[in-house]
Amino acid sequence: GQSSQSMQGWRDLCLQMYMGKTSDSGWKKARNALLKELGMNLTEEEIRERAREIFNKYDEDGSGQIDFDELKALMTSLHIQVSDEELTHMAAELDVDGSAEIEILEFEEMLFKMYHSKDKYGAWKEAGYALIKKLGEGLDVELELPIRCREVFNEFDEDGSGKIDIGELELALNSLGLDVEQATILEMMDEAGIDQGLNDPGIDFQSWKNLLTNIYVGNNDDVWESAKVGIVKMIGPNLKKEELWERLGQIFQEMGSGGSWGLSI
């Protein structure tokens, strides 16, 4: 009936948020390094081909699966510092068939989603609201936004080189009232130029437009991030799947009897 369908939908939503919250951090740490390992400006087939090459490189015993030790070796080779607990969460997030090891299709799908992820620009989050204010709210994304992106780009590209370099970016952020650490600025440069290749310093206009469009269109995602934090807090930390399932049922019943969500968004 409708009640059971609603219950199922509630459980699925919360399960995705909860599992994502506990396992996101490891893959987020590895994202830039993995994208550089993949390469830039790839077609869908090229992404999947490179994913298979990377998988085979780290599937040292040729089993067709990446186990915990092989995943650890992959992270070490990419100079990514992750704890054993994070590695366990990372493996669990990809292990959709419950085998406790990562199979090639699971790995391939993860890298494909990562390549096209809306979270390409995590370091830009602090600057996002200031940039949206600079662009102007309520712009037509197809017509007006590209024009404003060009105008702001030309303003920040002070030497007219066609690229925003690290010094120009730092000045631009300061002009927006942001005091950003040097390490974060370097990460922002890295993320903004992620589609340009490894040996192409500075942010060209196409990358700048992609970045600002992503920030402008993706602004509403912050609501879901707040909801995710609230749901994890309400459910309780570090639950096993069976405990999580039972807890979600209890919360759903409380909501149905007039209880409060207890979410602060």
Q: How many CB atoms lie within 10 A of CB 68?
A: 15
pLDDT of residue 215: 81
Distance, CA of 98 to CA of 111 (rounded, Å): 19
pLDDT of residue 264: 41
Torsion (CA) 156, 162, 168, 171 in degrees, nearest 10: 0
Phi/psi at 100 (5° precision): 70, 10
Sequence-ordered list of residues with C-beta below 8 angstroms from that of 241, at least 6 positions apart, any chain: none
The 10s digit of each residue's pLDDT in 82-134 is 888 878 877 777 765 666 678 888 888 888 777 766 455 566 877 888 888 89
pLDDT of residue 265: 42
- What Cα–Cα distance (Å) separates residue 218 from each residue in 18, 24, 207? 21, 18, 16
User: Strand, coil or helix: what is 135?
Assistant: helix
User: Strand, coil or helix: what is 109?
Assistant: helix
pLDDT of residue 247: 77
pTM attached to this predicted model? 0.45
Q: Which two tokens stand for residue 201?
A: 């310093």
pLDDT per position in the chain (265 positions), as tens? 444 445 566 566 565 555 554 344 577 777 777 877 777 667 888 888 888 898 999 898 888 888 888 888 988 888 888 888 878 877 777 765 666 678 888 888 888 777 766 455 566 877 888 888 899 988 888 899 999 999 999 999 999 999 998 889 999 999 988 888 877 888 788 777 655 544 556 888 988 898 888 888 765 444 445 555 566 667 776 666 677 777 777 776 776 555 444 444 4
DSSP string, 211-242: HHHHHHHGGGHHHHHHHHHHHHHHH-SS--HH
Distance, CA of 253 to CA of 262 (rounded, Å): 14
pLDDT of residue 221: 47
The 10s digit of each residue's pLDDT in 210-225 is 888 888 876 544 444 5
Contact at 8 Å (CB) between 58 and 72? no
Task: Output the CA angle 212-218-223, nearest 5 degrees.
Answer: 140
pLDDT of residue 21: 44
By CB atoms closer than 10 A (0-12, 13-18, 19+), residue 121 is buried
Phi/psi at 103 (5° precision): -90, 165
Sequence-ordered list of residues with C-beta below 8 angstroms from that of 208, at least 6 positions apart, any chain: 149, 153, 164, 192
pLDDT of residue 19: 52
pLDDT of residue 46: 86
pLDDT of residue 260: 47
- Judged by phi (left if over 0) then psi (alpha if -120 to 50, else beta), residue 98 lies in left
By CB atoms closer than 10 A (0-12, 13-18, 19+), residue 174 is exposed
Return the residue matching tokens 């992106």: 149
- What Cα–Cα distance (Å) separates residue 108 from each residue in 94, 148, 240? 10, 37, 27
